[in-house]
Amino acid sequence: MSDSMITKRALAASLKELVRRKSFEKISVADITGGCGLGRQAFYYHFQDKFELLNWIYYQEAFAELCEGITFENWPEHMYGLFRIMQEDAAFYRNTVGSQPEDFTEYLESVTSALFLEAIEKLDEQKRIPGRKKEFYARFYAHGCSGTVLEWVRGGMKLSARELADDLYSLAKDSEKVAFRLYSEEISNRDEMK
């Protein structure tokens, strides 16, 4: 492992430890570097601020693995992995996602939007749905999934990681099929009226 990666991991571990005792908003760069015995210069060599470090942690621990080889079909397993990681380190995710939801949801919406778009493309075999509508549907469902995950975190992660992953996948599959069917019926009705 490179020296750079060792330093980044030390800073990440320090932030994670601090977040267990103190709210993310009240943690300073000095707190983070003091927790791992590094200087501020080392911190700023790798990260602009504590928010960039937080994003790095999210990506390294949760989203890198989530994105690796994910498809709409294997989505439940990948999402289960993400939610399991979050439950295992619940204090960290509650304290950071709860206080800084934008960064986390931005990642999650980006990943899920791409998956929904992939699924809609597969359902639209006859290429009847305009690209703009496909993108809108994908963003809509991704936003709903992200909101549900935020609610789950803020509510104390009471539902198991497996149940949440399965529920979101079932909802996504059923909703996409309904939306596609309704849009197809609308197209058929327009064709019949011509």
Q: pLDDT tens digit string along 36-62? A: 999 999 999 999 999 999 999 998 988
Whole-number Å distance between alpha carbons of 120 and 131: 10
Q: Residue 60: give the domain boundaries.
A: 50-193
Say if residue 147's pLDDT is above 70: yes
- Residue 191's pLDDT band (boundaries 50, 70, 90)? low
The residue type of 147 is G
pTM over 0.75: yes
CATH number, domain containing residue 128: 1.10.357.10
Residues 12-25 have a mean pLDDT of: 93
Tokens of 74: 């294997």
Mean pLDDT of the chain: 86
List C-alpha distances in Å: 80 to 97, 109, 135, 180, 187. 18, 16, 25, 26, 36
Q: How many domains does the chain have?
A: 2
